[in-house]
Structure 1
Amino acid sequence: MKDTGRFFTVGLVAAWYSSNIGVLLLNKYLLSSYGFKYPVFLTMCHMTACSLLSYIAIAWMKMVPMQTIRSRVQFFKISALSLIFCASVVSGNISLKYLPVSFNQAIGATTPFFTAVFAYLMTFKREAWLTYISLIPVVTGVIIASGGEPSFQLFGFIMCVGATAARALKSVLQGILLSSEGEKLNSMNLLLYMAPVAVIFLLPAALVMEENVVGITIALARDDIKIVWYLIFNSALSYFVNLTNFLVTKHTSALTLQVLGNAKGAVAVVVSILIFRNPVSVTGMLGYSLTVIGVVLYSEAKKRSK
């Protein structure tokens, strides 16, 4: 039984890694190599799939009990989180048009830095001094990686930093806004309510910012039907990232999840370099390695401070 449980957990982690890295690489392929230059519309496809598949998983398959929204105030809180979530995903997808996945992941590893900053600014929560010291290599590593990145592009860099900051802000706000016992939602139920709201935000944004995107996508599909299958598969995979993340969280400890998350970024970097063959400098790799070491130290410092 123990062996079965261990194999099940390993399978979940493998599925989490595969779906997460798969979405990242397919986003990069679609937005740069394939030439589908519509990150807002792509994000809307992701959120549409998350809406439908979340409902199927919770309402039909009963994977977790359905939690209901109890008040208008709670709905507005979820809507605010959804808006920030949209900003994070769209900015991240835009950055993939301009930056290699390896550099994108290096910047994304600075999430703990932004989380600590927002937690202090919004809740005045202070961490132990060791925790703050551990953030120095996190930021220093990205600065070094930026200086040594052959494919550095300023707009893409700004978008990626914005996506990382928005991801951290959502995490902090979620803890503040949905802190009472009556308002807490597990991640699958939160996605069930956030995703449709995200589609409502993203639809007009896509139509305004990416003119005639629907007509262009239909025209592309007539020339190459593969684009339809790419979008369907990519959108479904984006849901499985959230599903497998929830299941890994459920079947492992928070600390294990942190360690696995750090390793996942490193695996994504290696796989992306092998697939896209983007040039990588020694300075850039040293910078990214320093960031990963900083994140590991940060996790350790957080564990000791509890």
Structure 2
Amino acid sequence: MSRLFNVCLIASWYSSNIGVLLLNKYLLSSYGFKYPIFLTLCHMMACSLLSYIAISWLKIVPLQTIRSRWQFLKISALGVIFCSSVVTGNVSLRYLPVSFNQAVGATTPFFTAVFAYLLTFRREGWLTYVTLIPVVAGCVIASGGEPSFHLFGFLMCIGATAARALKSVVQGILLSSEGEKLHSMNLLMYMAPVAVLVLVPAAFFMERDVVGITISLARDDTKFIFYLLFNSSLAYFVNLTNFLVTKHTSALTLQVLGNAKGAVAVVISILIFQNPVSVTGIFGYSITVTGVFLYSEAKKRSRSN
């Protein structure tokens, strides 16, 4: 029963991760709802509400309070970084196919190593840094062979990847540092409202007609509201299942599964959206994924020594 529960949990994490990615692509590109900031705002509002319900009402994890002004400032900074990573990622999906988006996103370990050194002065073993070479080289090859390459979309995707890596480093400090040690679910509950406060003025200044367009789309197509609500709920479910998979398996298992998830997302997106791919692009992405797996193995060995 325990093994079956873990399999169902991992399947839920996979489906929610890939589901929110594909639904974002559908809404922002195929459906024509070209408002990535407002879409991210909906995600963050859902995370705020559902986090509060999960912790305060359902008692999934114990409620933790913010201990100091300095801790609040770090949570606020993380909230800004988090919403920046999601917004730039959603913007990139307007211009790039999911397959190429995932190829660029696979370079996250490279940016994580850079930010970890800059913020915590933590150095990895030489073998770990060597494995980052194919990670970056594969992305460069995939970029050169991408039929749907778009420079602005590519820059947004790089920005999203870097912000995601920075978020993971800052989050690691908040989750593990002595005197901090916020639980990941509590951290999301405090972080999401900060992101909402940043995104509300950004959405209304940069996407001025978004409210009118949203109301108009809801009147013309009742399924649009379902898409929006379901997509926003999935965004929270990704975080919830991420925590549950880590709790019932291990952080290393999550990392390995995450590496494989990118390849699964690429195959599914190509089947659904029928975007053209080249042999060069597939070759480059394969090199990147191989580099990511080697990076995971090198990190595992460095921890065991």
Residue in 2 that maps onto 1:118: 115
1:63 matched to 2:43: no
Distance 1:156 1:198 in 2: 22
1:278 matched to 2:275: yes
1:138 matched to 2:135: yes
Contact persistence 2:174–2:182 (CA under 8 A): no
1:95 matched to 2:92: yes
Residue in 1 that maps onto 2:161: 164
Query: 1:298 offset after TM fit, Å?
Result: 0.3
Residue in 1 that maps onto 2:239: 242
Q: Deviations over 1:192-216 (max 9, x none)?
A: 0011111110000000010121111
Residue in 1 that maps onto 2:173: 176
1:21 matched to 2:26: no
Distance 1:172 1:54 in 2: 22
- Given the alignment, which residue of 74, 77, 85 partners 2:74? 77
Q: Deviations over 1:94-139 (max 9, x none)?
A: 0000000000001111000000011112222211110000000000
Distance 2:174 2:251 in 1: 21
State the SS of the aligned residue for 1:152: coil
Distance 1:113 1:107 in 2: 11
Contact persistence 2:175–2:183 (CA under 8 A): no
Amino acid of the residue matched to residue 219 of structure 2? R
- Given the alignment, which residue of 296, 299, 303 partners 2:296? 299
- Given the alignment, which residue of 198, 220, 227 partners 1:223? 220
Q: Deviations over 1:36-68 (max 9, x none)?
A: 000000000000000111011111011111111
Structure 2 alignment gaps of length 5 or more: none
Amino acid of the residue matched to residue 267 of structure 1? V
Residue in 1 that maps onto 2:7: 10
State the SS of the aligned residue for 2:138: helix
- 1:197-216 map, 5 Å: 197-216=194-213
CA RMSD of superposed structures (Å): 1.0
Structure 1 alignment gaps of length 5 or more: none
Residue in 2 that maps onto 1:107: 104
Aligned residues: 303
Query: 1:189 offset after TM fit, Å?
Result: 0.7
Residue in 2 that maps onto 1:155: 152
Distance 1:110 1:97 in 2: 20
Distance 1:34 1:99 in 2: 15
Change in 2 beyond 3 A, CA 1:146/1:86: same
Distance 2:254 2:44 in 1: 24
- Is the deviation greater in 82-91 or in 116-125? 116-125
TM-score (norm 2): 0.97
Contact persistence 2:44–2:192 (CA under 8 A): yes
| Identity %, equivalent residues | 80
